[in-house]
């Protein structure tokens, strides 16, 4: 059984609402979930498994509640060697190159910190998938099946 720290970046509440469904499935899968809305660097360092669920703001920016964490990780560069993680990125493809920019930025940074991606990053396009859960559920089930204990 894994304890998964879920870092949620939300502007209008979509990522936060999605995290409710994610937590329910994680707990049904005999894992534990820890929701973190206002994360600190210590939350990331102490996490055994990381799941980032984030929307993207403006021109690809990270939501305000996750931006300080991203800046700290980027400036202090704590090595997260081998720490398993996953990314659920929410965006709108009509924004072009900045589509899912926050999730892509976190994915790149966690890789730079030598954390270990479990599977591929999930990118959800609000233009195609108004409700993110039907897209997230099969991805999450596969992600959970690949987690190291």
Question: pTM of the entire structure?
Answer: 0.95
> pLDDT per residue over 39-91, tens digit each?
999 999 999 999 999 998 878 889 999 999 999 999 999 999 999 999 999 98
Rounded Cα–Cα distance for residues 88 and 103 (Å):
7
Q: Which CATH architecture has domain 3-144?
A: 3-Layer(aba) Sandwich (3.40)
pLDDT per residue over 98-116, tens digit each?
889 999 999 999 999 999 9
Q: What is the pLDDT of residues 27-40, one digit of tens each?
A: 999 999 999 999 99
Give CA–CA dist 84/125, Å, rounded: 25
What is the rounded (10 degree) CA torsion for 131, 134, 139, 140?
90
């Amino acid at each position: 059984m894994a304890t998964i720290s879920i870092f949620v970046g939300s502007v209008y509440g979509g990522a936060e609402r999605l995290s409710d469904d994610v937590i329910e499935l994680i707990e049904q899968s005999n894992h534990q979930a820890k929701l973190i809305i206002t994360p600190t660097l210590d939350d990331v360092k102490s996490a055994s498994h990381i799941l980032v669920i984030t929307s993207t703001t403006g021109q690809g920016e990270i939501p305000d509640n996750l931006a300080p964490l991203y800046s700290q990780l980027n400036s202090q560069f704590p090595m997260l060697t081998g720490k398993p993680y996953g990314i659920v990125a929410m965006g709108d493809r009509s924004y072009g190159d900045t589509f899912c920019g926050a999730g892509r930025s976190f994915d790149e940074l966690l890789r730079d910190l030598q954390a270990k991606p479990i599977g591929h990053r999930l990118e959800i396009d609000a233009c195609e998938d108004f409700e993110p859960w039907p897209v997230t559920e099969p991805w999450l089930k596969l992600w959970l099946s690949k987690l190291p204990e």
